[in-house]
């Protein structure tokens, strides 16, 4: 069986007509009918009911259609991924979620540029979920994100678990926990700003899942567009918010940051690449991450997720 036979079959199902399918595929109708019959003979099943108009697919045909679409999609993705891998020696496109700009991403990219001046780096802001599609289509070659998502075509490495902190105004009553740290169960009555609003899932949904995992329900969660708004509102005395600890470098005035003691209160930082991609830029970037982590006294986890 050839891929073109699957393409013929899928087009006839979708067009519900041999004539329209033949037009779409730019082939004559009789050879298309013959190829469909040959496919039926090869499979030993009827894919279409006989004598019906519009063309009606059988139960077995419907099952085969679902799988044929998957095979064709998979083949198209494998093609574009392979083409991208072969083109990637000179330029690496790196997708990242914006909050990583406050974390160690700038240092890692700076080191990569310095070590490999012949490789151009293009940075593309892209949510963790969108990175999966962008890797498949070749829009990016590496993705740095914060969410726990899986896809069979994508390999993900957990690099580290960044602790979360509570941002509060310096005169807020919770400052008494500045030294000791605080549990999430102690902030349920506060107005908590979460961010960003879109695209979902995002840091806001991840924070919500931590509360849920702990069986906690905050009384008032208010969604705002982005982290600067959340911190600005906290600085105005309107409420509190959770941040990845590196975001405390943003430097909004009059804020203090309190460690959160629950073990679950972390944000995973991960690297996504195309499955089976053996390109040399992957160990190169991992070496840079390792070097920056070493400078910062961070243990690199390197776990498949
Ligand atoms: C980090 O802050 O740990 C990090 C950020 C971007 C890429 C890799 C690691």
CB of 112 sitting under 6 A from ligand 1:
no
Average of pLDDT values for 207-232? 96
Average of pLDDT values for 93-102? 93
Which class is domain 88-159+268-296? alpha beta
Q: For position 149, what pLDDT does the model report?
A: 78
Report which of residues 153 and 211 the model is more confident about: 211
CB of 103 sitting under 6 A from ligand 1:
yes
Residue with the smallest CA separation from ligand 1 atom 6 is 105
State how far the Cα of 222 lies from the Cα of 237, in Å rounded to an integer.
14
Reported as a single tens digit per residue, the pLDDT across 287-301 is: 999 999 999 999 998
Q: For position 89, what pLDDT does the model report?
A: 64
The token duo for 11 is: 């087009």
Three-state secondary structure string covering the chain: CCHHHHHHHHHHHHHCCHHHHHHHHCCCHHHHHHHHHHHHHHHCCCCECCCCCCCCECHHHHHHHHHHHHHHHHHHHHHHHHHHHHHCCCEEEEEECHHHHCCCHHHHHHHHHHHCCCCEEEEEECCHHHHHHHHHHCCCCEEEECCCCCCCCEEEEEEEEEEEEEEEECCCHHHHHCCCCECHHHCCCCEEEECCCCCCCCHHHHHHHHHHHCCCCCCEEEECCCHHHHHHHHHCCCCEEEEEHHHHHHCCCCEEEEEECCCCCEEEEEEEEECCCCCCHHHHHHHHHHHHHHHCCCCCCCEEC
Cis peptide before 201 (omega within 30 of 0): yes
Average of pLDDT values for 176-185? 97
What is the distance in A from the centroid of ligand 1 to the CA of 97? 10
Q: For position 197, what pLDDT does the model report?
A: 87
Reported as a single tens digit per residue, the pLDDT across 114-148 is: 999 989 999 999 988 899 999 988 899 999 999 87
CB of 100 sitting under 6 A from ligand 1:
yes
pTM for this entry: 0.75
- Domain definitions of the chain by residue range: 3-83, 88-159+268-296, 162-266
Cβ–Cβ < 8 Å for 281, 88: yes
Residue with the smallest CA separation from ligand 1 atom 1 is 104
Choose among 124, 143, 147, 126: nearest CA to 135.
143
Q: Which atom of ligand 1 is nearest to the CA of 104?
A: 2
State how far the Cα of 132 lies from the Cα of 127, in Å rounded to an integer.
9
State how far the Cα of 59 lies from the Cα of 48, in Å rounded to an integer.
9
Q: For position 88, what pLDDT does the model report?
A: 57
Choose among 156, 146, 151: nearest CA to 199.
146
pLDDT for 52 beyond 90: no
Average of pLDDT values for 238-265? 95
Query: pLDDT confidence of 87, banded at 50, 70, 90?
Result: low
Which class is domain 3-83? mainly alpha
Instruction: Tally Cβ neighbours within 10 Å of residue 245.
Output: 17
Q: For position 290, what pLDDT does the model report?
A: 97
Same topology for domains 88-159+268-296 and 162-266, yes or no? yes
Q: Which atom of ligand 1 is nearest to the CA of 105?
A: 6
Average of pLDDT values for 229-253? 94
Residue with the smallest CA separation from ligand 1 atom 3 is 104
What is the distance in A from the centroid of ligand 1 to the CA of 108? 7
Which class is domain 162-266? alpha beta
Average of pLDDT values for 256-270? 97
């Amino acid at each position: 069986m050839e891929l073109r036979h699957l393409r013929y079959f899928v087009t006839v199902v979708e067009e519900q007509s041999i004539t329209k399918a033949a037009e779409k595929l730019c082939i004559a109708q009789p050879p298309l009918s013959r190829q469909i019959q040959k496919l039926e003979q090869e499979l030993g099943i009827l894919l279409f009911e006989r004598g019906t108009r519009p063309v009606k697919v059988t139960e077995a045909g419907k099952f085969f259609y679902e799988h044929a679409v998957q095979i064709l999609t998979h083949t198209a993705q494998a093609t574009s991924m392979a083409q991208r891998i072969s083109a990637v020696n000179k330029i690496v496109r790196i997708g990242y979620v914006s909050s990583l700009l406050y974390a160690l991403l700038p240092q890692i990219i700076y080191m990569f540029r310095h070590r490999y001046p012949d490789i151009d780096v293009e940075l593309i802001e892209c949510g963790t979920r969108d990175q999966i599609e962008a890797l498949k289509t070749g829009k990016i070659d590496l993705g740095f994100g914060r969410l726990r998502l899986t896809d069979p075509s994508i390999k993900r490495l957990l690099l580290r678990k960044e602790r979360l902190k509570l941002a509060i105004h310096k005169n807020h009553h919770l400052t008494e926990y500045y030294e000791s740290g605080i549990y999430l169960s102690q902030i349920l009555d506060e107005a908590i700003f979460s961010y960003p609003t879109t695209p979902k899932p995002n840091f806001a949904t991840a924070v919500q899942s931590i509360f849920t995992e702990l069986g906690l329900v905050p009384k008032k969660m208010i969604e705002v567009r982005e982290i600067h708004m959340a911190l600005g509102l906290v600085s105005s005395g309107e409420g509190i918010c959770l941040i990845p600890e590196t975001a405390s470098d943003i430097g909004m005035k009059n804020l203090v940051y309190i460690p959160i003691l629950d073990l679950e209160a972390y944000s995973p930082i991960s690297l996504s690449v195309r499955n089976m991609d053996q390109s040399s830029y992957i160990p190169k970037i991992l070496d840079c991450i390792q070097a920056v982590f070493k400078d910062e006294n961070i243990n690199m986890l390197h776990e498949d997720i």
